Structure 1
Amino acid sequence: MADLALFDLTGKTALVTGGATGIGLGLAEGLARAGARLILNGRRRDVLDSAVEALRAKGYNVAGAAFDAADPQAVDQAITQLAAAGHQIDILVNNAGTNRRGAMNQISVDDYAAVIRANVDTAFIMSRAVSPAMIGRGSGKIINICSALSKLGRKNAVAYAASKGAIAQMTSAMCDELGGHGIQVNGIAPGYFLTELTQVIKDDPQHNDWLMKRTPAARWGEVEDLAGAAVFLGSRASDFVNGHILYVDGGLTSVMG
């Protein structure tokens, strides 16, 4: 039981961007099951409220914070308001993101920029806003959501792969900058998980068949598969783990295609 106490998040507060749906919601619930108080972030108040109500119905301590994580002024205002309300952010999960699929010479520059803004800029802006208080306390956990495409290339995903490669490198740089202040910065790199963003792949028989043959586990990931990784990287159990990207991908990135 003493060893299991290392994973206990009781008394800790976790802010999860893009936490109202999909992978973000699954990560949030995993942290809540380990005892964390939750602050879910999202831009759509109706979707956010539904997620908050659903988690509260399960008995979790959760609040919503509606703001655009890519807007520096909105982020600074939100973090200031949360601090004034007594919310100390112990764990930041940079999960907000999007994807725009298409061949490189077909997607627009605006679509490319939108992916970078949602997937990369948000992590920088949020970490910049939250880390000063963590530095002051000498402790904190930042978890950046990377991807199997942080390592692999894939056609029709140039913008997404660029963004997730950037997040992996940002994790390394943030580790070097913040590690001496008692802050651990790590990444979780999911493989293929069935969400609204990936349904189009599941519906493509050729792509789905390729994925099943490429992944040793021979299945899609379920959001519950990410909970353990989030709890580990958010807890005292990972106090000497820094700058690491934890691939949760059923073995996808470990084998030849």
Structure 2
Amino acid sequence: MEQPMDRSCIVVTGASRGIGAAIACALLQQGRDVIGVSRSGAVPACAGLAPELAARCTAMQADVTRPQAMTDVCRELRERGWRIQGLVNNAGMHADAASDRMPLAQWHQLMDSNARSVVSACQAVYPHLVHAGGGVIVNIGSFFDKLGVKRNLAYCASKAAVGAITRVLAVEWASQGIRVIDVAPGYIVTDLNAKALAAGAPLRAYLEQRIPGKKPGTAADVAALVAALFTPAGAFLSGETIYLDGAQGIAH
């Protein structure tokens, strides 16, 4: 890759597929340069994106559960001449188990993947955002952070931690011009769960009863909101958790 001359970029983790790829595509459609980070190092799947926009996406390989990984990514980007102006912490995982029998190894795995990785990525990007004069960090949480979901002790706790991390950093780093927001989706159709959420599937039938609008969201719904947070429309928004769940979490 040719070294850019002080071009700004937004780093998106977990960007190779699903919600992360959709976020990368939405940012590219805004005309931004995107660094898509994933374990595979694959270019985000952005079907139908104009070639000149797709060319503005650079894929990098990194395992965000390794604390040093994002520090290395940020250092390499700076060496290449990139100026980081934002970060989307999308990488994460889900697993379930009965709470009385959940292996503690699973607890640590989810906390490392969903919470510790957010902290280490934010720490890694912080000096770069300060150097840039400020920026935006969007953490992808979950509406499970406020629910009591059977067999999801570790997942719910890790996503609740994302909200707390967001609030603290938003307050602490505001003086540096850095905004931090938590986007907490509900049930979202992606390539990973499309079968389970297909029409006629038991989970889809359940959600049609629980979501007031009768259907789950899409990766594009999440991506559109995240991209909007990087525009002037979100200039005074920081520290909040935005629930994107079709009102499922408040429906009675």
Given the two structures, how large is their TM-score scaled by the length of structure 1? 0.87
What does 1:100-179 correspond to in 2, within 5 Å? Answer: 100-179=95-174
Q: Which has the higher helix share?
A: 1
What RMSD in Å do the two structures reach over aligned CA positions?
2.2
What SS does the corresponding residue of 2:16 show, helix, strand or coil? coil
**Structure 2: gaps spanning 5 or more residues:** 1-6
In structure 2, which of residues 61, 76, 82 is the aligned counterpart of residue 81 of structure 1? 76
In structure 1, which of residues 13, 34, 46 is the aligned counterpart of residue 30 of structure 2? 34
Matched letter for residue 40 of structure 1: G
Cα distance change of structure 1 residues 54 and 85 upon mapping to structure 2, 3 Å threshold? farther
> Contact between 1:52 and 1:62, CA under 8 Å: does it hold in 2?
no
CA distance in 2, matches of 1:56, 1:177: 39
Given the two structures, how large is their TM-score scaled by the length of structure 2? 0.89
> Contact between 1:12 and 1:35, CA under 8 Å: does it hold in 2?
no
Deviation sequence 1:76-124 (CA, Å, 0-9, x none) = 2221111010111111000010011121123321112111111111111
Q: Percent of pairs identical after alignment?
A: 29
What SS does the corresponding residue of 1:16 show, helix, strand or coil? strand
Deviation sequence 1:159-203 (CA, Å, 0-9, x none) = 111110000111000101111111110011111012355457537
CA distance in 1, matches of 2:247, 2:52: 32
Q: Which has the higher strand share?
A: 2
- The count of residues paired between Structure 1 and Structure 2 equals 244
Match of 2:221 in 1: 225
Cα distance change of structure 1 residues 77 and 63 upon mapping to structure 2, 3 Å threshold? same
> Contact between 1:52 and 1:63, CA under 8 Å: does it hold in 2?
no
CA distance in 2, matches of 1:206, 1:155: 17
Matched letter for residue 173 of structure 1: V
**Structure 1: gaps spanning 5 or more residues:** 1-10
Matched letter for residue 128 of structure 1: Q
CA distance in 1, matches of 2:45, 2:222: 18
CA distance in 2, matches of 1:120, 1:70: 9
How many Å apart are 1:209 and its aligned residue? 2.5
Matched letter for residue 236 of structure 1: P
CA distance in 1, matches of 2:62, 2:48: 20
Match of 2:4 in 1: none
In structure 2, which of residues 15, 32, 39 is the aligned counterpart of residue 19 of structure 1? 15
What SS does the corresponding residue of 1:89 show, helix, strand or coil? strand
Cα distance change of structure 1 residues 53 and 220 upon mapping to structure 2, 3 Å threshold? closer
What SS does the corresponding residue of 1:131 show, helix, strand or coil? helix
Deviation sequence 1:37-85 (CA, Å, 0-9, x none) = 110000113xx14648986747321001101112122222221111010
What SS does the corresponding residue of 1:36 show, helix, strand or coil? coil
CA distance in 2, matches of 1:131, 1:108: 34
Matched letter for residue 14 of structure 1: I
